[in-house]
Structure 1
């Protein structure tokens, strides 16, 4: 596949992600305040956020293995997107936080099914243009949707939380129609072809990869999930409409950093990922004690690096034939420690916010140090 054709497909996949993020990031921007209005505590919000993320990441281990074994990259991608997207508007049909938690888990289940096979497809496509630039461009488009979705939801809150969620059925349907169209114009045999000339050894269980897993897992322990951030903003007196707007601002930062660090990654390699935990360790004290707006810009930058070149690093270290499993292992590890981190962060916040900040800063700096010491 030539460079121009690769960019075209990256953009098409990016459009699907743009509309998808419009849907579920729009919902995510108000899920914390919605749970607050339903009577959930900070510990419950942390648990709901953590368990849904954990289940999603755990199932990626299975999805990645199945994708490699059956080469069913397209089937799993489409199935996962369908479950992922159509779970979101159903949240608007209930006022029971337990049912909301179940639907959040179902949405994460769908994302778990589609993410490893979709990332394998993207790793094939980005081979010609550079994994950093390719994944960075995809994440940039992804975050355009993450900016617009919360802004749309903020406007819809004038009609109430439930209608805001239900109305997201429209973009969910558009994303599925576009994905089906891409499948028609992108031959199955081409995306499932595995090259033996990519020059990358199968190092999915090498010392370097395990060191990378350790660093990313510690980072996951330290990273503040937005439901806890939004819970803090709500408890601090921010209005319901202002919180999704602030989330959009963070997603703008995410998009800019994803595109910027895509180019940085292709030039400087895996060590550039170290900026993700470094920025995260700065963001938490700034959000709580200095400026929530500045803190969310920094937080969004960390997330942009996390969601773009952390994936690029896996593609650069692992052969194509094993990438589904490698992505599954990576996402499982990241999700497990995100879950544990969410529980710890929510609990520490309920005791004393300063404890949560200290946890986030120390672990972020440890992760940064491990990544800087990587030999790849």
Structure 2
């Protein structure tokens, strides 16, 4: 009770904190894997075009699942159970990368991992939104994102330290340990929110889709998602520009994750103070600036600044984009709304990454970042219209 009282004084709940630690341990596991992937891809001889296909299909494969998971969680009101199922699937499949020797092995494991993410994300975000007051929604998502991304720092550091000594096989097997810890915290300390059943039988997806401003907001999210191709292409740009060995990829990825983590909590506070939509706009501008800097120079200090901005934009957007949903959609439809939101994020992943891989192969590493900047500017137009609708 003392812990709950202390958390309440800061405007957060045990559910928010516990889910933050669930994401922390899961991200340690995931980022140990992701930090090693650029070098692993090269070791397997996988081309940039195939990388784009793998990463794009891995994200896009979750789109329909996210919609179904969100709608189903609103219908059965079993948000915790669905969240647990998604985390369980991801925790089980990631260590199997240790046995991958061909590109389609990697594809199958990455798709299964992202399916788990698709199952868990809408009900998990709904639990966070139910567990936070309206005026502290940004803080709740900021705390969750910060803990999530702390795992995103620890994971790459572990990979960078251990990979030269134990190799890919053992590193991927070790991802099972933090995955198991995440499941334990979720089972032990996250409680099912008490949400009354709907007063009438309805399609939660339809109600969420028809909420004022939702479609415009999802259009903005989709445009952004077309710009948000795999981090691998950003790291390859730095590799091409500076001629740094690809063995430094985990170190560069760690810089991205540190900036991501450092920006998440301030993003939530900024969102609570200055508004949800302006906060999302800041994230778009940070992303565009990082892309532009990475394209126009080959100077390492400036490219490191671009790397920090790239990470910071992710912290801003992964906190503030989710915090917008409660302002647009009633509580009883939020699971479905987060399903739609996550689908807008995921549906662009395959074409975005395929296009990035194609442009990289034909024109070079600058081309995907240039196109990404154009999509970021396109994302601003519907976002401005949403802000006008929300303004009194």
TM-score by length of 1: 0.91
Q: Aligned residue for 1:309?
A: 320
Q: What is the Cα deviation at residue 372 of structure 1?
A: 2.9
In structure 2, how many angstroms separate the alpha carbons of the residues matched to 1:73 and 1:148?
Answer: 28
Q: Aligned residue for 1:107?
A: 113
Contact 1:15/1:142 (CA < 8 Å) preserved in 2? yes
Q: Aligned residue for 1:21?
A: 27
Alignment of 1:228 with 2:233, yes or no, is yes
Question: Relative to 1, partners in 2 of residues 1:80 and 1:306: Cα closer, same or farther, differing over 3 Å?
Answer: same
Q: How many corresponding residue pairs?
A: 367
Counterpart secondary structure, 2:375: helix
Q: Aligned residue for 2:184?
A: 177
Q: What is the Cα deviation at residue 229 of structure 1?
A: 2.4
1:77 to 83, 89, 93: 83
In structure 2, how many angstroms separate the alpha carbons of the residues matched to 1:122 and 1:193?
Answer: 17
Counterparts of residues 57-72 of structure 1 (less than 5 Å) = 57-72=63-78
Q: Aligned residue for 1:245?
A: 251
In structure 1, the gaps of 5 or more residues are 197-201
Q: What is the Cα deviation at residue 85 of structure 1?
A: 1.8
Q: Aligned residue for 1:136?
A: 142
TM-score by length of 2: 0.88
Cα deviation code 1:254-273 (max 9, x no counterpart): 11221111011112223221
Q: What is the Cα deviation at residue 86 of structure 1?
A: 1.9
Contact 2:135/2:272 (CA < 8 Å) preserved in 1? no
1:331 to 332, 339, 342: 342
Contact 1:233/1:243 (CA < 8 Å) preserved in 2? no
Contact 2:126/2:334 (CA < 8 Å) preserved in 1? yes
Q: What is the Cα deviation at residue 230 of structure 1?
A: 3.3
Q: What is the Cα deviation at residue 275 of structure 1?
A: 1.6
In structure 2, the gaps of 5 or more residues are 200-206
Counterpart secondary structure, 2:149: helix
Q: What is the Cα deviation at residue 226 of structure 1?
A: 1.0
Q: Aligned residue for 1:199?
A: none
Q: What is the Cα deviation at residue 350 of structure 1?
A: 1.2
Contact 1:155/1:241 (CA < 8 Å) preserved in 2? no
Question: Relative to 1, partners in 2 of residues 1:84 and 1:205: Cα closer, same or farther, differing over 3 Å?
Answer: same
Q: What is the Cα deviation at residue 33 of structure 1?
A: 2.3
Q: Aligned residue for 1:43?
A: 49
Contact 1:224/1:342 (CA < 8 Å) preserved in 2? yes
Question: Relative to 1, partners in 2 of residues 1:194 and 1:25: Cα closer, same or farther, differing over 3 Å?
Answer: farther
Contact 2:85/2:116 (CA < 8 Å) preserved in 1? yes
Contact 1:32/1:228 (CA < 8 Å) preserved in 2? no
Contact 1:218/1:367 (CA < 8 Å) preserved in 2? yes
1:165 to 150, 165, 172: 172
In structure 1, how many angstroms separate the alpha carbons of the residues matched to 2:160 and 2:64?
Answer: 32
In structure 2, how many angstroms separate the alpha carbons of the residues matched to 1:288 and 1:151?
Answer: 27
Q: What is the Cα deviation at residue 171 of structure 1?
A: 1.0
Aligned-pair Cα RMSD in Å: 2.1
